[in-house]
Amino acid sequence: MANYVFQAPSGLTGDVLAADGLRYTIAGGLLSLPANAVTPTLINALITSGWNWQVGATGAAGSAGATGATGTTGGTSATGSTGPAGAQGAPGGPTGGTGGTGTTGWTGPNGPHK
């Protein structure tokens, strides 16, 4: 785990007794403490005594978030308009031949005699 780094008040030198019972030296105006040597009480004591947080290195990227849920299905679209009328088809086949002569009709009755 990364260290906690604090900036000492101007001109302060020496060392600091940390929460793990060890002494850590102020070097170049900074105090670097491992995570197991820091407690909320120690942080409060340093900050209220004029110490400041030192900007540390950028942390690693977090894990990817969960995949979002599938969206709802869209509505049915409107029916399309009717297409234009198709072109007229080609003319039909050739004209048929002339029909045959019909049968002779009945002979009519004889007319009156003079």
Q: Which domain holds residue 47?
A: 4-53
Please choose, from the candidates 29, 30, 23, the residue with its C-alpha nearest in 3D space to the C-alpha of residue 5.
30
106 domain-assigned? no
Q: What is the pLDDT of residues 23-80, one digit of tens each?
A: 999 998 899 999 899 899 988 888 888 888 876 556 677 888 899 899 899 899 898 8
Number of domains the chain is built from: 1
Predicted TM-score (pTM) of the model is: 0.45
Q: Which residues pair with 12 in a beta bridge?
A: none
89 domain-assigned? no
Q: What is the mean pLDDT of the chain?
A: 86
Q: What is the pLDDT of residues 79-109, one digit of tens each?
A: 889 988 888 878 877 888 888 888 888 888 8
108 domain-assigned? no
In the chain, what is the greatest distance between 2 CA atoms, to the nearest angstrom? 170
The reported pLDDT for the residue numbered 69 is 92
72 domain-assigned? no
Query: What are the two backbone dihedrals, phi and then psi, of residue 48, each rounded to the nearest 5 degrees?
Result: -70, -15
